[in-house]
Structure 1
Amino acid sequence: MSINKSFTESNFASVLDEYKYNLNLGDIVAGTIFSIEKKGFLVDIGIKIAGYLPYEEVLLSNNISNNYLHNINSITREFFLLAYNKSSQQLILSIKRLEYIRGWKRIKQIETENIILNLNIRSNNKGGIITYLEGIRGFIPNSHIARLSSIDERYIQCKILLADEKYNKLILSHKKALLCTTTNKLKIGDIVYGKITKVENYGVFIEIYGMPSLLHISEIGHKNIQNINKIFQVGNTITVKILHIDTQQGRLSVSTKNI
């Protein structure tokens, strides 16, 4: 079913005035699904104009199984009043839009409370991990995934890094969550051991309590270093001092100076 895009909110209001209905686009209404149609459901919302719920407006994931179709029939719940189809004289309803709004509201609350999450890993790609929070697709970039063998193949701890409802963008960080769980073990100025995981021309990456940390070349010593690869080797253990703990980005900066 195509929704009449040219039918404006003022047109819709005039139709409702004609029938003396106190409804507006964007309202949340209660209704009961009473019939399964070819491309959607008919919904009784207590007025003479029919309510219609297209299949594509049922779930955020759009994966509707036959079992789900059977179970949703006769259910009474809330719907989002999405539009009005003038040709069929039907109110177009949406569960997906309602769940989207409520999902983002819960995400904002989670962000405010700074909660550590344990989310199901749905899939991986070259850039990182795809997961879902409150029905909203989230992404954990590789740059925010600590290289830990202890990561469960199905679940990963993370915290919200960016939650932008306007652009439907949810970025999460495993490093940020991991650092929060280890802050009681670390503080600025501590002397700790770490394992070298990578050597670059600008510095050395070290794993400390599972957290990736950077020993910048400027913090290695008081002399200029010509070839950093001759000094450090992957797999070796090194003693460093904690310089900075970035709990927002989930990063550590360390130094070997004055130890």
Structure 2
Amino acid sequence: MLLSITTSKFDFNKFGLILSKYSYKIKTNDILAGIVVGVESNYVLVDVGLDQVCFLPLKEISISPITKKIDLLNINYIGEFLILNINKNSNRIIVSMKRVQSIYLWNRLRQIDFKNITIYAKFGESLGKGKLITFDSLSFFVLNINIPKYYLKLNNNKLFIPFKFLEIKDSFHIAHISSKLAVFNKVNRNLVIGPTYLGNVTSIKYFGVFINILGINCLLHISEIFQKNEQTQNISSFYKLGDQIPLKIISKDLERGRVLVALDSN
């Protein structure tokens, strides 16, 4: 939705004069300079150079959780505001400061080497199959399958937990993160190819056995259990939960956080 710029009724907003001079058409998601001209109990009035003031709801003032957001702004406060909604029927324009903060924080996140860093954050609200975490005032959703069971059982919202970024989607401001991968990257240096390790069986699947070695779940694939000339049998008849098995590391996938092991023949 577009809205024509007209000269602001407030003389101190020179930005509005510039916009009207070039016949700029304002639209949603535009970011404009503005000045606070009124503070009410549940919203703030902002002049961004239009022929009417804009409404800034309290929930759109700050990205950070603040008890009294209204105390952040005073008359004549100058800042940047994103056009959130233009309603011609009600002649009301809604703006947001929170969205501007989010955009800048997101752009800053994109400038760091996110694939190679480990962040530490606390668990927040639980949502369905995952949890929210907050890092640098940005909220991210992490699936429970990407969280070690140890952390899920703790249920401690005060504990800082390591996370790694798996993927960032700029167009939607979405980031996929994993705590399992962060823990893996920290501990995997203790697992090297060559030595023999003792691991405990944690899960038995039709395709193989998952074994815990030094805190990392490793996969003993079915192809490593039965030789090519042997008839494949039910793995459960060979192993049970808690069994301790001597193993050797045969490969490590650092990007996926996976370790493949083989039986130690010695």
Tell me which of 119, 127, 130 is aligned to 2:129: 127
Q: How does 1:9-48 map to 2 (within 5 A)?
A: 11-13=3-5, 20-22=17-19, 25=26, 26-29=30-33, 31=35, 33-37=36-40, 39-43=42-46
d(CA) in 2 for partners of 1:178, 1:131: 16
Give the TM-score taking structure 2 as reference length.
Answer: 0.75
**Shift in Å, 1:173:** 0.6
Bigger RCO (CA 8 Å, 6+ sep): 1
User: Match of 2:150?
Assistant: 148
Q: Is the Cα–Cα contact under 8 Å of residues 146 and 210 in structure 1 kept in the other structure?
A: no
d(CA) in 1 for partners of 2:93, 2:81: 10
Q: Does 1:58 align with 2:55?
A: no
d(CA) in 2 for partners of 1:249, 1:77: 46
d(CA) in 2 for partners of 1:110, 1:121: 23
Q: 1:110 to 1:197 in 2, by over 3 A?
A: farther
Q: Does 1:112 align with 2:114?
A: yes
Cα deviations by residue, 1:196-234 (Å, 9 ceiling, x for unpaired): 111112211112222222111112242344121122121
Tell me which of 238, 249, 259 is aligned to 2:245: 238
Tell me which of 153, 176, 179 is aligned to 1:174: 179
The letter for the 2-side match of 1:183 is N
* Shift >4 Å, 4+ stretches: 13-19, 22-25, 44-49, 83-92, 149-152
Give the TM-score taking structure 1 as reference length.
Answer: 0.77
The letter for the 2-side match of 1:246 is D
d(CA) in 1 for partners of 2:238, 2:42: 67
Percent identical residues: 27
- Point out where structure 2 has 5 or more consecutive residues left out of the alignment: 9-13
SS of alignment partner, residue 189 of structure 2: coil
- Point out where structure 1 has 5 or more consecutive residues left out of the alignment: none
Root mean square deviation, CA, Å: 3.6
Q: Is the Cα–Cα contact under 8 Å of residues 115 and 164 in structure 2 kept in the other structure?
A: no
**Shift in Å, 1:165:** 2.7
d(CA) in 2 for partners of 1:92, 1:20: 21
Q: Is the Cα–Cα contact under 8 Å of residues 31 and 100 in structure 2 kept in the other structure?
A: no
**Shift in Å, 1:142:** 2.5
d(CA) in 2 for partners of 1:167, 1:128: 19
Q: 1:205 to 1:113 in 2, by over 3 A?
A: closer
Q: Does 1:208 align with 2:213?
A: yes
Q: 1:99 to 1:19 in 2, by over 3 A?
A: closer
